[in-house]
Structure 1
Amino acid sequence: MEDSKDIQVGIITDLDEGEVFLRQHGFTNEDLQRLLDDTARNKALVRKVDLVLLPLLAGTYMLQYIDKSALAYSAVFDLLPSTNMSSEQYSWLASIFYFAYLVAEYPWMFLAQKTKMAKVVSGNIIAWGAMLMITAACTSFTGMAICRFLLGAFEAPITNCFMMIVGMWYTRSDQPFRAGIFYSCNGLGAMLGGLLTFGIGQIDTIAVWRAIYLILGGITVLWGVIMLILLPDDILSAKRFTLEEKALLVGRGRLARTGILNHQIKWYQIREALIDPQVWILFLFMLLNETINGGIASFGKLIIKGLTGDALTTVALGIPFGAFQLLWVLSGTFIASRVPNCRTIVMFMYLIPTIIGVSILWKLPHDTQKIGVLFGYYIVGAYVCSLVLALQMPASNLGGYTKRITSVALVFLAYCAGNIIGPHAFLAEEAPIYQTGCKVMLACCSAQAALAVCLRLLLIRRNKLRNAAVAAEPAGEGEEELGDLTDFENPRFRYVL
């Protein structure tokens, strides 16, 4: 009775809400251990979570990639002459999208933490679908720039919220592959988007680029309504799970010592995120990674068009890039999930195909070695696996809900900045090889490899110090799970490598 009273009068602000849920419903540590020891029940529950969440996350990510790529698809057809845009203005359209990300990302994350995450996500999906449809009415660079900015603002919370959702519902060993499943749908989106655009390209009643925006926007609005109905806000309020299933999910979350949910913004945790070297290494890693992505996403199709000269052939030849990306992301995240403490190694190794691919794009003659150049373009996308693991690191490798939210947001700021910078390394006068862009991508990959090594060494050192400290002075059993503690505060927290 006393515990219940304490919770009512305010201790809830210091506790993770998963712990409050367990207390309110009378689940003891012994009850949780009994549930955790039931292997069959755990496997069945993970399958149920996969069926509830992954199709929704994967479908959204596929649509997000296709919608985000609508600009690149449109440029292959008749967008530039229809709107009297130059190549330089086109580069700025690619960057404007991510300026909006920078502005909107943290406010959306703040709102998602304070209110209902699923409703924030679903509302934004509907809004960005509507914005795509409005883009079809544009006739100038100014109109395109405004729509592109608003599209970026509405897409801004999706990746961050999805990483937090995966961090909430899955154990740390399960997280990389689950994040890989929905993020690999970028590759699926590249394939389906190519096929869809190829079909839309046969339309001759209206401008093809306008048809692209209208059709993709309509599909996205319908998907947003589905998400609004089906996506749960969090474990504790999910309607399709029983009390015991929710308790088991909270218990599984306890194993990571990262916490489940806390709606209170804790300023000291924000300060801690800002002084954590791990966060800044991930920030720099992401900045470099997305500088590569910004260039490839905006100019990859134009590199292919330089080989073929035909719009429909360009779209068709871009489809295998998505298949390769699917392979890179799923294979890398599967390895990271199955092999303990190898995430930073995978982050390092999956940069190597990108370095090889960029070198091929740069040095192989584009007029006589077209198949070789295409292969180089297809394998460039391996860096995306490193991106997924780096994006997931703050959600799975930091304690304290506000610290995790802040760190995810910071790393995503670098995501935006890199995508703003990347397109401007691809100079119009260097088409179709874009030598400066290739040099920048090679420099970014090399620096990323060094950062992956630094991150691994930092985390190894932290774990060794914690092991030594606990061995010398063991902490009270279970005390650290009760509070919404950061990884710095919790002596039993261990970092995944």
Structure 2
Amino acid sequence: MSNSIISAEKDTQVGNVTDLDLDGGEVFLRTNGFTNDRIQELMDDRARNKVLIRKVDLILMPLLAGTYTLQYIDKSALAYSAVFDLLTSTHMTSNQYSWLASIFYFAYLAAEYPWSFLAQKTKMAKVVSGNVVAWGAMLMITASCTSFNGMAVCRFLLGVFEAPITPCFMMIVGMWYTRAEQPFRAGIFYSCNGFGAMVGGLLTFGIGQTKTIAVWRAIYLILGGITVCWGIVMFVFLPDDIISAKRFTLEDKALLIGRGRLNRTGIINRKIKWYQIREALIDPQVWILFFFMLLNETVNGGIANFSKLIIKGLTGNALTTVLLGIPFGAFQLFWVLSGTYIASRIPNCRTIIMCAYLMPTIIGVCLLWRLSHETRKIGVLFGYYIVGAYVCSLVLALQMPATNLGGYTKRTTSVALVFLAYCVGNIIGPHAFLAKEAPIYQTGCKVILACSSAQFVLAVCLRLLLIHRNKQRDAAAASAVGTDGAEAAAGDELNDLTDFENPRFRYVL
């Protein structure tokens, strides 16, 4: 019944195909006279493809990676500050500190979909770069706070301004790269969480030597100033989309759009299609990803905000705690890059990797929970270092909507739903770590163990669902041979079709 409703609404909205109904990339090709034969000729030129993708990498990856490094460091400024003098300087309790961690994601939750909607309707790069400047300014303002109330307001606004970054970056990767190339590219910038942990640790160690003002205020002022400068760089150099990018020739753009056709997900379409929103809401794949992300970020919300306090319980010294956190970043860098590289090189193994990279997290949290923090400190540290492997599963799950969903509005809606779960999980996570259980936080460890195990089951369910769908489509395609299949194949790329509408769409496992 739901499919018939979608079809009826689509017929009412669409009617005859117009430029508004076409994907923006197809409009560009038609306007500039690029035929299918010419596109295929460009795509067959392997040398040109390699040069072009290298150019795209050199333009996009440093900007995305740099932004993600700063985002992680800036978001972690709260955890770094708590190791030093934040709690005593602002007269905060441990429970209020937990709420500061959650408030950020309440804001993220409220702002993420409006920003994604604005990015689709206007210029994505300008939305991103403007918010980078704004969150840098908000960090600097935070340094003036003297109470929990002031910190809460600044933390909320920081969440508002950081909200569009990850969803927009996932959409950018989905726009510029083929499905085979997307996991590793997403992994490159997301692994900068690990790089950010290392750089942030070194920066904080250096800032921790200051004697002129409170260390936590110096952390916020310096990190905020760096971020404002970076936001200006983003504004100048990050392209809004393939079509308007200034550093590419018409043939380069045509080739990039032709490569995008291979994804069968479209390049960009600024028209909001309500039937695609409805389709996203009834797609089981979207809801599996939703709950996978909810569990994943419940884990993250606890680890990101309390792991450093666990390590401080081992050492008792703030500067030593900061230094011991640096290897955690190196491990996270390894987990994300290795997992996403394998996912890019081996077809249809993404859900398998999502399962495999949850195992170190399960082992690590067991070590944190069960080993003595007095006599087994090295074992506890090792558990802390390997627990971050879940981030690789996060990256692959984040990329799934851009990879496995057709229709621009359906993709943006699904990304928004997944990030809703992202926010809710990060709100829940810190509250599982009870102050009375410091420094082991037994309840928090149990919650992480339960969430990671449930994620494993969800990843298996997702794989089985996608295998079933591909088999159904292969069977339908085989029975359609010799009818009007060739004609449909020639035309299915001209519209902004969802994966449900396009019979040639195949899901990546």
Q: Tell me the distance in 1 between the aligned counterparts of 2:113 and 2:147.
A: 30
| Equivalent position to 2:504, from 462, 470, 492 | 492
Moved over 4 A (4+): none
- Residue 494 of structure 2 corresponds to which residue in structure 1? 482
Q: Which residue of 1 aligns with 2:361?
A: 354
- Give the structure 1 partner of residue 208 of structure 2: 201
| 1:253 equivalent in structure 2 | 260
In structure 1, distance between residues paired with 2:499 and 2:154: 41
What is the CA-CA distance between 1:477 and the residue it aligns to?
2.5
Counterpart of 1:402 in structure 2 is 409
Which structure 2 residues correspond to residues 325-344 of structure 1 after superposition, within 5 A?
Answer: 325-344=332-351
The equivalent of 2:466 in structure 1 is: 459
Q: Deviations over 1:47-72 (max 9, x none)?
A: 00000000000000000000000000
Cα distance in 1 for partners of 2:17, 2:118 equals 21
Question: How many Å separate the matches in 2 of 1:397 and 1:249?
Answer: 19
Q: CA deviation at 1:360?
A: 0.3
* Amino acid in structure 1 at the alignment position of 2:27: V
Say if 2:103 is the partner of 1:96: yes
Pick aligned residue for 1:66 from 73, 77, 97: 73
1:444 is the counterpart of 2:451: yes
Task: Answer whether contact 2:473 2:503 (CA < 8 A) is retained.
Answer: yes
Alignment partner of 1:119 is 2:99: no
Q: Which residue in 2 is equivalent to 1:413?
A: 420
Q: Counterpart of 1:199 in 2: which secondary structure?
A: helix
Give the partner amino acid of 2:173.
V
Matching residue of 1:5: none
Structure 1's unaligned 5+ residue stretches are: 1-8
1:10 is displaced (CA, Å) by: 8.0
With normalisation by structure 2, the TM-score equals 0.96
1:139 and 2:146 aligned: yes
2:9 aligns with none
The amino acid of 1:232's aligned partner reads P
The alpha-carbon deviation at position 375 of structure 1 amounts to: 0.5
Alignment correspondent of 1:167: 174
* Structure 2 counterparts to residues 154-233 of structure 1, below 5 A: 154-233=161-240
- Match status 1:148 vs 2:178: no
Residue 478 of structure 1 aligns to a residue whose secondary structure is helix
Shift of 1:161: 0.1
State the distance in 2 between where 1:430 and 1:73 align. 21
Instruction: Tell me the distance in 2 between the aligned counterparts of 1:141 and 1:16.
Output: 48
Identity %: 81
2:270 and 2:21 map into 1 onto residues whose CA distance is 10
Query: Structure 1 residue 81 and structure 2 residue 88: aligned?
Result: yes
CA deviations on 1:456-478 (whole Å, 9 max, x unpaired) are 00000000000111111143222
Tell me, in whole angstroms, the C-alpha distance in 2 between the residues paired with 1:328 and 1:425. Answer: 25
Structure 2, unmatched stretches of 5+, are: 1-15
Structure 1 residue 51 and structure 2 residue 63: aligned? no
Q: Which letter maps to 1:434?
A: Y
Q: Distance in 2 between matches of 1:460 and 1:115?
A: 37
For 2:490 and 2:404, the matched residues in 1 are separated by 19
Q: Deviations over 1:162-198 (max 9, x none)?
A: 0000000000000000000000000000000000000
- Distance in 1 separating the partners of 2:387 and 2:442: 15
Which residue of structure 1 lines up, in the alignment, with residue 8 of structure 2? none
Aligned partner of 1:391 among 390, 398, 409? 398
Q: Does 1:272 align with 2:272?
A: no
Contact 2:489 2:504 in 1 (8 A): no
Contact 2:310-2:439 at 8 Å conserved across structures: yes
Deviations 1:411-455 (A, max 9, x none): 011000000000000000101111000100000011000000000
Distance across 2 between alignment mates of 1:495 and 1:155: 31
Counterpart residue identity of residue 313, structure 1: T
**How many residue pairs end up in the alignment?**
489
Task: State the SS of the aligned residue for 1:12.
Answer: coil
Aligned-partner Cα distance in 2 for 1:21–1:449? 43
Residue in structure 2 matched with residue 4 of structure 1 by the alignment: none
CA distance in 1, matches of 2:421, 2:180: 25
Q: Are positions 1:367 and 2:374 aligned together?
A: yes
Aligned to 1:6: none
Q: Distance in 1 between matches of 2:109 and 2:461?
A: 27
State the alpha-carbon separation in 1 of the partners of residues 342 and 415 from structure 2. Answer: 23
CA displacement, residues 306-327 of structure 1 (integer Å, 9 cap, x when unaligned): 0000000000000000000000
Provide the C-alpha distance between the structure 2 equivalents of 1:17 and 1:439, rounded to a whole number of angstroms.
48
One of 321, 329, 338 as aligned partner of 1:322: 329
